[in-house]
Amino acid sequence: MRVRELSIAGAWEFTPVQHADDRGLFLESFTAPQVAEAIGGEFTLAQVNTSVSAAGVIRGVHFADVPPGQAKYVTCVYGAVLDVVVDLRVGSPTFGGYDAVLLDDSDRRAVYLAEGLGHAFCSLQDGSTVTYLCSTGYNPGAEHGIDPLDDEVGIRWPSVGRDGAPLEFRLSEKDRQAPSLRAAVDAGLLPAFGTES
């Protein structure tokens, strides 16, 4: 598995080696020792989530209170998504910045993001299926979001899908009403840099 550190500290891309023959293919989509080596500690698995999204669906930018926070290992098992990691840690050198990775059923990459980082993606085709390995379980009182279309963050979402057709963005009501980055800072919602577990 090839490992690449992203431009946001605490985030990595993992690209598995695929072994194909006339029967299909095999790959290791997650190996605890390689993830631990990259992140400098063990990744505790507490919950596995799966989402299925139509083309143009944007989910996020989501994050959890720190501590304990929620680290994630995310992959797209069917379809394609532009996966985005946003640095929401106040005081971080890359605060408000983001990095993006294409996750799809061709290269079968995964992204790891540490506690305190925000996560979002845009589905590039109908039925895109994303699996998230999470370090903590769902805690509705500790889950938050910021507006994925916030100009201050400036995520360059794709305008066309995997098939070349124009994308029409669709967001949940919760994500549509999420505060801007500035409003989240002012409300004290964001984690401080260095408080990640």
Q: Which residues are catalytic?
A: 62, 132
DSSP characters over 126-162: TTEEEEEEESS---GGGEEE--TT-TTT-----SB-T
Q: 130: helix, coil or strand? A: strand
| CA atoms within 13 A of residue 70's CA, in its CB half-sphere | 23
Q: What is the DSSP letter of 33?
A: H
Chain-centroid distance of CA 90 in Å reads 19
Q: What is the DSSP letter of 110?
A: E
d(CA 55, CA 78): 12
> Which residue type, as a one-letter code, is found at position 136?
T
Choose among 83, 189, 85, 84: nearest CA to 145: 189
